[in-house]
A and B are shown apart, each in its own frame.
Chain A
Amino acid sequence: MYDITVIGAGITGTFIARELSRYQLRVLLVDKENDIANGTTKANSAIVHAGYDATEGTLKAKLNVRGNELYEKVCQELHVPFKRIGSLVLAFNQQEVETVQELFERGIKNGVPQMEILDKESVLKLENNLSEEVVGALYAKTGGIVGPWELAIALAENALENGVELLLNSPVTDMKKIAGGYCITAGDRKIESKIIINCAGIHTDDINNMINSPSFEILPNRGEYNLFDKSVGNVVNSVVFRCPSEAGKGVLIMPTVHGNLLVGPTSEYVENKTSVETTFEGLTFINDHTKHTLKEISFQNVITSFTGLRAKTRTQDFIIEESKESQGFFNVAGIDSPGLTAAPAIAEYVIELVKARIENLEIKQDFNPNTRPNIHFMELPDSEKAKLIEKDPRFGRIICRCENITEGEIVDVIKRKAGATTLDGVKRRARPGSGRCQGGFCAPRVMEILAREQGTDVAEVVKDGLGSYILTGKTK
């Protein structure tokens, strides 16, 4: 019997699993998908929010500010890209100036440090590509950007190195109470566990309802994005929001940690939890927004578009608590924005709740908080590059021409713990195919390497999920 089973290997699940791996516990991390971070974590704004948005006194407000504080350390330990580039909320008229003032005051109440209100001139000095029609902004220096799936993958890897077990492709379809805990059906496995932590993202209500009476409902809310080529990645230097409205925190324009430009999201409630399609209307809306915020931008530079689903609840706050009906069953639900920012603080919070259920929780003496850094070949000085190629010639062979990713890096992310097994898995870890040609040149090569390293046929290589086959057979 496991001590704890964490359902959902997104950003909250992996953070919690990694925190749990500090203790003498038998922990299982289970997910329905073929990889870590394959739900909301792979499709969001990738922002570490300063914390002025959430209503004071809510869990969101508290965990946002604390989460933001915790980011530096964890990203250092796990070598995940994180940049505190600051964030701006722009005002374009008097009403928005008032909103900015309200946000500033709320930020003070929430304990957000290093905020100031800027006039037009100062805004344009920071961001000279913005439309001249801007009249002012809230500037929060602690706002930042992160690689969300890199973080979740690194957390999972670190958790695994510290003894956590991982089970992918295993949707939880049934749950029963048994003596001293729970028995869940996950894929073709029956798993017994004393404690269950439900981090199933937009499916947290479904998981909760397997064992408890419904106490909350997840309302999937779709956000669409456009990602631009690196050639326009420096159009803005910070995370640039428009004023929040009914539609959400406001559409944003920001650089990503890899130097692309990200624009979005839309905000729209959708009926089902599989609505991850982009829409003509959504993408047009984002483009129009961008046109009004920036002086100029060419949409020819969009390299891909994507959609994420926010796990919203009616209360609009996080639900992080032990079920009143089921002792040892914890819900970590409604983790929409600022969930990514709050995730490290959510993990802290959950561990405290769990401690109340498990007596004499013992610290693991040999817990290692650090992972081995991914190799980013192109960022090395020439002398280091030469040394690495000499040691392993696969670092001399560029597979992805757009991002200049070498075979050595690809093999490394396949071989690591919680390593890549799919084309998109390799892309999320080492970035081949995430450049301007979107894998047009390198996909066949990456598939070849995956097949070789896994000892399978190239036809077995999938894009992402088990059913996402790329090849349909041999030619005649």
Chain B
Amino acid sequence: MLQYDIVVIGGGPAGLAAAIEARKNGVKKILIIERDRELGGILQQCIHNGFGLHIFKEELTGPEYAERFIKELITMDIEYKLDTMVLEVSDSKVITAMNATDGILHIQAKAIILAMGCRERTRGAIRIPGTRPAGVMAAGTAQRFVNIEGDMIGKRIVILGSGDIGLIMARRLTLEGADVLAVAELMSYSGGLTRNIVQCLEDFNIPLYLNHTVVNIEGHDRVEAVTIAQVDEKYKPIKGTEKRFECDTLLLSVGLIPENELSKSAGIALDNVTGGPIVNESMETSVEGIFACGNVVHVHDLVDWVTEESRRAGSSAAKYIKGQIQSNCKTIKLKGINGVRYVVPHQIRLDNIEQTVELMMRVDNIYKDIKFVIKSNGEVIKEVKRKHVAPGEMETIKLDLSKFTPGDCDEMYIEIVEKEA
């Protein structure tokens, strides 16, 4: 059996940042296992710019952002295996993997960092009726075809879902000469970043239909038409509001799901809201010594946040190996309520906090002029004002806990308080 200090599963932005950070913290034997043919993950197919504003203070494309980390990784001599699939992770931190050159691999790790990313929700999960022709495709798959393979996937296109991938692809396909006829969004607001609504739809006169969904797909061999309709407050289509578009393609950008099949095999507890592992301040999962970071934990909207979170996972895993993590200490559970859908981390072990902890959260609707209120034992610990919050934009709050003395209550709540009219 191979022996490593840390095995990182996934060579996308999360895995790269975690491995580099672990090495910077003195860990020697690190292995990254990547199932694709190159490092960088989905960033490699994101050839648009806007990556790295927070980490590098400049606008990079996805491949450029990935390249900076890949170069650093190589200068650090961190081992990686490409085209290698992890089949199983056990709670005793044994990894089973395979590839064409090594065959079946069994690896014992002292610590594991899960960084498998996420996958796209499919047509089946959102119950789109109609025929099942070619030309119905996940937006990310389309992105791979167009940006990596150089293949076009359609000429007249309707997009369902206004998440960032859908918006980016609306612009990308327009630039490649396709007619993007409409973007339909089930919710009353876009799931994407405001800047992408402006730069990808408004700048190209692509209409966005909020409160709309696809109610029919026509075409036997290839898509021939797509019909959208307005929905009521229960998301049920309203008769008489149908709009039919003759087109050859329907792109689906209807949500991302953290990819946690391996986490399940290791018996890691998952959060129903995020779909990812329940983690603590060190990004450690419910299985000791197995850490997680990036979109496998919760779907981020900026890779910069992924990098920050993953650095924390990398340095924590390093500490864990050196026995510098306290596990028998006062633990505070964090909960989002009243408009806060979730908060990561889910738990904070106070002894492992040097001073501040960064909370990442999403809200359940669009709110204006609100404050986030953090309370413990009925006492307000912190208040943060926000002019505008939306489900499509992740909120982060730095919480100083250096002067915090826990009371009897080991729970902390984060909620939205709306300004009184």
Contacts and interface: CB of A to CB of B under 8 A. Distances in A.
Contacts of B141: 439-441, 443-444
B104 to A, nearest CB: 5
A393 B100 contact: yes
A472 B154 contact: yes
Given A279-B129, A386-B104, A227 B155 contact: no
B284 interface: no
A444 B83 CA distance: 15
Q: Which of B123, B132, B153, B218 has the most CB of A within 10 A?
A: B132
A438 to B, nearest CB: 4
Interface string A452-476: 0000001100111111111111111
B412 to A, nearest CB: 29
15 contacts: A274-B220, A277-B130, A277-B217, A304-B122, A305-B129, A396-B99, A396-B100, A396-B102, A437-B138, A438-B138, A440-B138, A465-B220, A466-B221, A474-B152, A475-B151
A404 B85 contact: yes
Given A437-B138, A444-B145, 7 more contacts: A303-B122, A385-B104, A396-B102, A440-B140, A440-B141, A463-B221, A471-B145
B134 A468 contact: yes
A386 B123 contact: no
A404 B104 CA distance: 14
A352 interface: no
B123 A280 contact: no
B152 A471 contact: yes
A397 B104 CA distance: 11
B131 interface: yes
Contacts of A385: 98, 103-104
A440 B103 contact: no
Contact of B221 (A279, A300, A459, A467): A467
A439 to B, nearest CB: 8
A216 interface: no
Contacts of B151: 458-459, 471, 473-475
A469 B130 CA distance: 18
B335 interface: no
Given A470-B134, A472-B248, A277 B129 contact: yes
B85 A468 contact: no
Interface of B: 35, 83, 85, 87, 98-104, 119-120, 122-125, 127, 129-135, 138, 140-141, 144-146, 149-155, 176-177, 215-218, 220-222, 237, 248, 264
A475 B178 CA distance: 10
Interface of B is mostly: mixed
A395 B99 CA distance: 8
A468 B222 contact: yes
Contacts of A297: none
Contacts of A353: none
A264 to B, nearest CB: 13
B129 A278 contact: yes
Interface in A220-243: 226-227, 231
Contacts of A404: 85, 87
A417 B15 CA distance: 43
A361 interface: no
Interface in A264-308: 274, 276-280, 282-284, 287, 299-306
Contacts of A440: 119-120, 122, 138, 140-141
- By Cβ-Cβ distance, the 9 closest A-B pairs, closest first, are A467-B221, A396-B100, A463-B134, A393-B100, A304-B124, A398-B85, A468-B134, A468-B221, A438-B122
Contacts of A274: 220
A424 B177 CA distance: 28
A466 B216 CA distance: 23
Contact of B152 (A394, A436, A472): A472
A274 B127 CA distance: 20
A133 interface: no
A393 B221 contact: no
